[in-house]
C-alpha cells in the first residue's frame, strides 16, 4: 500500500512540476514579447506629423485625473474584470496643454471630439477644460462634437463646441445633480453588528449610512447648498455657451417627461427642439460629412477622415526647460490620505512628507506648490504632511496650496501652512471635522455561540476588539481623542486663516463648501486655477517669467511594478474583454461596491482618527 501511495504521489508531483514548467515557459514568452514591443517602440523612427487637414481628434477615455493611478497587478486584474481601473484615465494637464498649444498653432484649425468613453471629472476640472475650449474657438477655430448619447459631464464639454451632433436614437441627459447614498443601519441591526462611531461636527456625514436609514436634515441642507451652487455654475456656463435663455436647463430637466411625451418618446427630437444640439444625424452620415470636409483617410487604423490624434500631438510637442537653476516645485497630493506610503492615486503621509522635505532642503527650490485633489483620510498622515510644509515655510520657502476638484477635510488640513490657498469656484472644500469608526460583532457572534473572554489587569488593558466590542473606558478614550483632534483641527485652521476658534467652528462642523463659498467665508485666499497658483508662487519668490522652471517632485515608479500592473490589466482585458460584468447596471453596482471597499481598506490611521469627506467623491460622477 505504501508503494502504491508513493507512486501516486510521484505522479502528481510530476504533473505539478509539468504544470509549473508550462506556466514558467508561458510567462517567459509573454515577458519577451512585451519587451520586444517596448524596445521596438523605443527604436521606432516614426515621428508625429500633423495631418494636412489641420484636424485633431480628441477622444478621451476614462475620467479626468490630476495624476495617473498606480495599483497592484492583482487589483489591476480585478479592475479589468469589473470593466474599470487604471489605463482609462485622462490627465488634466495633458488636456489643458493640448488645447493651449492647438490654440496657438496656426496649422491646427479644427478639433473633432468624441466623448463616448469620457468618464467625467470634478466640476473644477470640467470648467477648466471648457475655458480652454472657449479660448480655442475665440482664436477663430472650430470644435465639432458627436455623440450617441451625452452624459451630464460629457454634455457640459460638448456645449462649448461650435457644432453639436447627436445620433437620432440618442439624447442629452442633462437632468441636474443628485446625490444618494446607501444606508445600512437596519441591516446592521438585523445582523447584530455594533457600530461604534466617534465624531464631532453637525454636518460630518461620512458615517451616516451606518447610523441611520436616511440622509439627516443637516446633511441634506449642506448637499442642497453645495450642489445648488454647482448646478447654477453648470447652467450658467452651458446656457452662455449655447445661447440659451436663463433657466432653460432647469426647465429642460424639470419638464423632460412632458417634453418627451410631446415628441412621441423621441429623446433626440427633444434635445434638438430645446436647442441643446444642432443636428440629429446617424453615424454613417456623420462620417461622410467629415470625409467630405477633411478628406478620406484610406489607412487601416483611421476613422475614415484625415486627422491626427490629440494626445499624440500633445506628446510630440511637449517641452522641457532645464536651463534656469531656480525652481518652483509642484507636489501633487491626489487621492485618499493614508499612513505610510502610497502609490499614484493615494497620498502616503510618510511618502509625501519626504517629497516636501526634499524640496525644503534643495537650495535651488524657491517655492513649493502643493496641488491638492483629495477628500482626506488619515488625520495623523495629514498632520505629517502639514508639519513638513510648515517647516518649509518657516525656513523661507514660499508655500502655495492649489486646490483642484476637491480639497476637503484632510485635503484642507494639509493646505493650511500655505502663504496663499487658491481654489477654483467649483472646487469642493471644507469638511473640517474628524471621526473614528469601529464596527464590532460581539452580538452577532454570540448568536452562533462564539464568545471572547479573558483577563485584564487594568481597566484599560482590554482594547477594542471586533469580537469582544468596546469597553466603556475605551469608549470614553476614543470620543475624547476625537474631540481633542477636532479642537486641534480648529486651532490649526484658526492660526492659518487669522480667525478665532469660534469663527472657524461656525464654518466647520464637517460642512462642505464650494471654492466660491469657502472664499466668501475666509477659508481660501484667492479664486483661480493651477496657473494662477504658479504665478502667485513666482511673484512671492520674486521670480520673473523665464527666470525659473516648474518641475514636479514625485516618487519614481518601479518599472517592474509598472510592468506587472500593465500585465495584470492586459490579462484581465484579454480574458474578460471590457469587463465580466460589462457597463450596465450590474457592472456599475459592482464597481461602486469595489470603490466603497477600497475606501474602507485605506483607513489605516494608527490612532483610528480620520479627516475624510466620503461624500466628496460623488461630485466627480454626480448625475
- State yes or no: pLDDT of 500 exceeds 80: yes
Over residues 517-538, mean pLDDT: 96
pLDDT digits (tens, 9 = 90+) for 278-309: 999 999 999 999 999 999 887 655 567 889 99
Q: How confident is the model at residue 346 (pLDDT cuts 50, 70, 90)?
A: confident
Cell numbers standing for residue 315: 506628446
- State yes or no: pLDDT of 274 exceeds 90: yes
Residues 218 and 114: their CA atoms lie apart, in Å, by 40
Q: What is the chain's length?
A: 623
End-to-end CA distance of the chain: 69
Cell numbers standing for residue 471: 469597553
Residues 521 and 523: their CA atoms lie apart, in Å, by 6
Query: 55-179+236-316 — its CATH code?
Result: 3.90.226.10
What pLDDT, on the 0 to 100 scale, is given for residue 417? 97
Over residues 566-592, mean pLDDT: 48
The helix (H) or strand (E) run that includes residue 615 is: none
Q: How confident is the model at residue 261 (pLDDT cuts 50, 70, 90)?
A: very high
Q: How confident is the model at residue 2 (pLDDT cuts 50, 70, 90)?
A: very low
Quote the DSSP letter at residue 286: H
Over residues 562-577, mean pLDDT: 46
In this prediction, what percent of the chain has a pLDDT beyond 70? 79
- State yes or no: pLDDT of 593 exceeds 70: no
* CA angle at 557 for the pair 310 and 308, rounded to the nearest 5°: 10
Compute CA distances 230 → 174, 233, 443, 622, whole Å: 14, 5, 44, 10
What pLDDT, on the 0 to 100 scale, is given for residue 258? 96
Residues 347 and 349: their CA atoms lie apart, in Å, by 6
Select the more confidently predicted residue: 130 or 75. 130
Compute CA distances 159 → 115, 131, 173, 210, whole Å: 12, 12, 12, 40
Mean pLDDT of the chain: 84
Look at 302-306, 399-403, 462-466, 581-585 and tell me which has the smallest mean pLDDT. Answer: 581-585
Give the start-end residues of each E strand in 43-190: 55-58, 64-65, 90-91, 110-114, 142-147, 163-166
pLDDT digits (tens, 9 = 90+) for 506-524: 999 999 999 999 999 999 9
Over residues 52-66, mean pLDDT: 92
- State yes or no: pLDDT of 472 exceeds 70: yes
Long-range contacts of 561-567 (CB under 8 A, 24+ apart): 561/70, 561/73, 562/70, 563/34, 564/73, 565/70, 565/71, 565/72, 565/73, 565/76, 565/86, 566/34, 566/76, 566/87, 567/30, 567/34, 567/73
Over residues 450-476, mean pLDDT: 90
Topology of domain 327-566+608-619, CATH: 2-enoyl-CoA Hydratase; Chain A, domain 1 (3.90.226)
pLDDT digits (tens, 9 = 90+) for 180-193: 888 988 999 999 99
Look at 50-54, 226-230, 582-586 and tell me which has the smallest mean pLDDT. Answer: 582-586
Q: Shortest CA distance to 582 belongs to which of 63, 83, 84, 118? A: 83
Active site residue: 53, 93, 141, 204, which one? Answer: 204
Contact, 141 vs 109, CB < 8 A? yes
- State yes or no: pLDDT of 46 exceeds 70: no
Note if 204 is an active site residue: yes
Look at 58-67, 104-113, 217-226, 583-592 and tell me which has the smallest mean pLDDT. Answer: 583-592
- State yes or no: pLDDT of 394 exceeds 90: yes
Q: What is the 3-state secondary structure (H, E, C) of 349-385?
A: HHHHHHHHHHHHHCCCEEEEEEEEEECEEEHHHHHHH
Over residues 386-401, mean pLDDT: 97
Compute CA distances 524 → 209, 427, 521, whole Å: 30, 11, 8
What pLDDT, on the 0 to 100 scale, is given for residue 596? 52
Over residues 531-542, mean pLDDT: 96
Over residues 256-262, mean pLDDT: 96
Give the start-end residues of each E strand in 158-212: 163-166, 194-200
Compute CA distances 213 → 183, 184, 209, 232, 460, whole Å: 5, 7, 7, 29, 33
Is the full-model pTM beyond 0.85? no
Q: Of 61-75, 201-215, 374-388, 566-580, which has the strongest mean pLDDT?
A: 374-388
Q: How confident is the model at residue 341 (pLDDT cuts 50, 70, 90)?
A: confident
What pLDDT, on the 0 to 100 scale, is given for residue 68? 83
Q: Which distant-in-sequence residues (6+ apart) come within 8 Å of 56 by Cβ?
A: 98, 102, 108, 110, 111, 112, 307, 308, 309, 310, 313
- State yes or no: pLDDT of 175 exceeds 60: yes
Over residues 333-350, mean pLDDT: 85
What pLDDT, on the 0 to 100 scale, is given for residue 178? 87
- State yes or no: pLDDT of 312 exceeds 80: yes
Active site residue: 382, 409, 431, 496, which one? Answer: 409
pLDDT digits (tens, 9 = 90+) for 11-40: 545 555 655 565 556 556 655 655 665 555
Phi, psi of 408 (to 5 degrees): -120, 155
Amino acid at each position: 500500500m505504501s508503494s502504491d501511495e508513493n507512486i501516486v504521489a510521484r505522479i502528481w508531483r510530476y504533473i505539478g512540476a509539468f504544470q509549473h514548467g508550462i506556466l514558467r515557459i508561458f510567462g517567459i514568452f509573454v515577458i519577451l514579447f512585451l519587451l520586444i514591443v517596448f524596445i521596438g517602440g523605443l527604436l521606432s523612427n516614426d515621428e508625429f506629423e500633423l495631418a494636412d487637414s489641420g484636424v485633431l481628434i480628441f477622444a478621451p477615455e476614462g475620467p479626468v485625473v490630476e495624476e495617473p493611478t498606480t495599483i497592484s497587478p492583482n487589483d489591476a486584474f480585478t479592475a479589468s474584470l469589473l470593466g474599470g481601473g487604471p489605463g482609462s484615465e485622462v490627465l488634466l494637464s495633458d488636456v489643458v496643454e493640448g488645447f493651449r498649444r492647438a490654440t496657438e498653432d496656426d496649422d491646427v484649425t479644427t478639433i473633432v471630439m468624441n466623448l463616448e468613453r469620457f468618464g467625467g471629472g470634478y466640476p473644477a476640472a470640467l470648467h477648466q477644460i471648457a475655458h480652454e475650449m472657449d479660448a480655442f474657438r475665440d482664436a477663430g477655430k472650430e470644435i465639432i462634437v458627436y455623440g450617441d448619447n451625452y452624459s451630464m459631464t460629457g454634455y457640459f464639454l460638448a456645449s462649448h463646441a461650435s457644432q453639436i451632433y447627436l445620433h437620432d436614437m440618442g439624447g442629452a441627459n442633462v437632468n441636474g445633480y443628485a446625490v444618494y447614498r446607501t444606508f445600512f443601519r437596519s441591516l446592521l441591526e438585523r445582523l447584530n453588528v455594533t457600530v461604534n462611531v466617534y465624531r464631532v461636527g453637525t454636518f460630518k456625514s461620512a458615517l451616516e449610512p451606518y447610523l441611520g436609514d436616511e440622509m439627516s436634515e443637516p446633511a441634506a441642507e449642506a448637499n442642497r447648498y453645495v450642489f445648488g451652487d454647482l448646478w447654477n455654475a453648470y447652467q450658467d456656463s452651458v446656457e452662455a455657451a449655447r445661447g440659451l435663455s436663463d433657466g432653460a436647463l432647469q426647465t429642460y430637466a424639470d419638464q423632460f417627461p412632458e417634453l418627451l411625451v410631446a415628441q412621441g418618446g423621441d429623446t433626440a427630437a427633444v434635445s434638438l427642439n430645446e436647442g441643446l444640439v444642432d443636428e440629429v444625424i446617424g453615424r454613417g452620415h456623420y462620417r461622410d460629412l467629415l470625409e467630405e470636409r477633411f478628406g478620406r483617410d484610406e489607412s487601416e487604423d483611421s476613422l475614415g477622415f484625415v486627422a491626427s490624434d490629440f494626445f499624440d500631438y500633445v506628446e510630440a510637442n511637449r517641452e522641457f526647460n532645464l536651463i534656469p537653476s531656480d525652481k518652483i516645485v509642484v507636489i501633487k497630493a491626489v487621492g485618499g490620505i493614508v499612513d505610510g506610503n502610497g502609490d499614484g492615486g493615494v497620498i502616503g503621509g510618510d511618502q509625501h512628507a519626504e517629497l516636501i522635505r526634499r524640496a525644503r532642503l534643495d537650495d535651488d527650490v524657491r517655492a513649493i506648490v502643493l496641488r491638492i485633489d483629495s477628500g482626506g483620510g488619515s488625520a495623523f498622515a495629514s498632520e505629517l504632511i502639514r508639519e513638513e510644509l510648515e517647516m518649509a515655510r518657516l525656513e523661507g520657502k514660499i508655500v502655495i496650496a492649489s486646490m483642484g476638484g476637491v480639497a476637503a477635510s484632510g485635503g484642507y488640513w494639509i493646505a493650511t501652512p500655505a502663504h496663499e490657498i487658491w481654489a477654483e469656484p467649483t472646487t469642493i472644500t471644507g469638511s473640517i471635522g474628524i471621526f473614528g469608526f469601529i464596527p464590532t460583532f460581539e452580538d452577532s457572534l454570540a448568536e452562533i455561540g462564539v464568545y471572547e473572554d479573558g483577563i485584564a489587569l487594568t481597566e484599560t488593558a482590554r482594547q477594542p476588539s471586533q469580537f469582544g466590542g468596546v469597553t466603556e473606558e475605551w469608549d470614553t478614550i476614543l470620543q475624547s481623542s476625537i474631540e481633542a483632534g477636532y479642537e486641534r483641527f480648529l486651532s490649526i485652521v484658526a492660526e492659518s486663516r487669522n480667525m478665532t476658534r469660534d469663527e472657524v467652528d461656525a464654518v466647520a462642523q464637517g460642512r462642505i463648501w464650494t471654492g466660491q463659498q469657502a472664499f466668501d467665508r475666509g477659508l481660501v485666499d484667492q479664486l483661480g486655477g493651477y496657473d494662477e497658483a504658479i504665478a502667485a508662487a513666482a511673484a512671492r519668490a520674486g521670480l520673473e517669467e523665464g527666470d525659473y522652471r516648474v518641475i514636479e517632485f514625485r516618487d519614481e515608479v518601479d518599472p517592474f511594478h509598472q510592468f506587472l500592473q500593465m500585465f495584470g490589466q492586459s490579462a484581465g482585458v484579454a480574458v474578460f474583454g471590457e469587463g465580466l460584468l460589462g457597463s450596465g447596471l450590474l457592472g456599475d453596482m459592482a464597481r461602486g461596491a469595489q470603490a466603497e471597499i477600497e475606501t474602507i481598506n485605506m483607513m489605516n490611521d494608527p490612532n483610528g482618527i480620520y479627516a475624510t469627506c466620503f461624500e466628496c467623491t460623488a461630485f466627480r460622477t454626480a448625475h
